[in-house]
């Protein structure tokens, strides 16, 4: 991932890099990948039925993380309200997904890894939203 390099190369954003936002962009895309992978791993488990909610939350979180990352990486113009709303949605999705994956983490390593990525992204969204408000 190269969000900081791309922001520095951006004609209008290059002079003022928002470090929490850069960290959040990387966390969002990492979390989206981990959630997608966890959903796929859940589908490969022998007992899939009890993982339906986990799979659903994984896929919802992946989509929301991806959308938040895409909104955050756009630096032309100013749409702080949409950015902050997207980060808030991502924070909620990550918290829900992490909580569900943590329920399965002792038995499934992929859920432990996913929960960790979700908690990281949840925190990154909080910090980025706070920095965007200032």
Is 75 within the bounds of a domain? yes
Output the domain CATH number for residue 88. Answer: 1.20.1270.360
Percent of the chain with pLDDT over 70: 96
User: How many domains are there within the chain?
Assistant: 1
CA–CA separation, 110 vs 7, rounded Å? 32
Give the pLDDT confidence score for residue 1 in this predicted structure: 57
Question: Residue 123's domain spans which residues?
Answer: 21-133
Is 82 within the bounds of a domain? yes
Query: What is the C-alpha radius of gyration for the chain, rounded to an integer number of angstroms?
Result: 16
Is 11 within the bounds of a domain? no
Tokens representing 60?
């919802």
Higher pLDDT: 9 or 47? It is: 47
Residue 89 has pLDDT above 90, yes or no: yes
- Compute CA distances 68 → 57, 74, 96, 106, 109, whole Å: 16, 10, 16, 29, 26
Percent of the chain with pLDDT over 90: 78
Confidence grade of residue 9 (pLDDT, cut at 50, 70, 90): confident
Is 67 within the bounds of a domain? yes
Is 16 within the bounds of a domain? no
Is 13 within the bounds of a domain? no
Higher pLDDT: 2 or 98? It is: 98
Mean pLDDT rounded to a whole number for the chain: 92
CA–CA separation, 109 vs 36, rounded Å? 14
Residue 120 has pLDDT above 60, yes or no: yes
**Within 10 Å of residue 112's Cβ, how many Cβ atoms?**
16
Is 1 within the bounds of a domain? no
Is 4 within the bounds of a domain? no
Give the pLDDT confidence score for residue 34 in this predicted structure: 98
Does the predicted model carry a pTM greater than 0.85? yes
Q: What angle do CA 123, 68, 96 make, to 5 degrees?
A: 50
Higher pLDDT: 111 or 6? It is: 111
């Amino acid at each position: 991932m190269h969000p900081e390099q791309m922001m520095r190369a951006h004609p209008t954003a290059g002079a003022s890099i928002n470090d929490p936002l850069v960290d959040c962009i990387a966390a969002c895309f990492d979390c989206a990948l981990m959630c997608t992978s966890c959903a796929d791993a859940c589908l490969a488990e022998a007992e899939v039925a009890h993982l339906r909610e986990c799979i659903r939350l994984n896929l919802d979180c992946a989509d929301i993380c991806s959308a938040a990352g895409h909104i955050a990486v756009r630096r032309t113009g100013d749409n702080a309200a949409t950015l902050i709303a997207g980060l808030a949605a991502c924070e909620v999705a990550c918290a829900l997904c992490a909580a569900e994956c943590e329920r399965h983490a002792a038995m499934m390593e992929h859920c432990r890894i996913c929960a960790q990525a979700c908690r990281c992204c949840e925190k990154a969204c909080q910090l980025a939203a706070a920095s965007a408000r200032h």
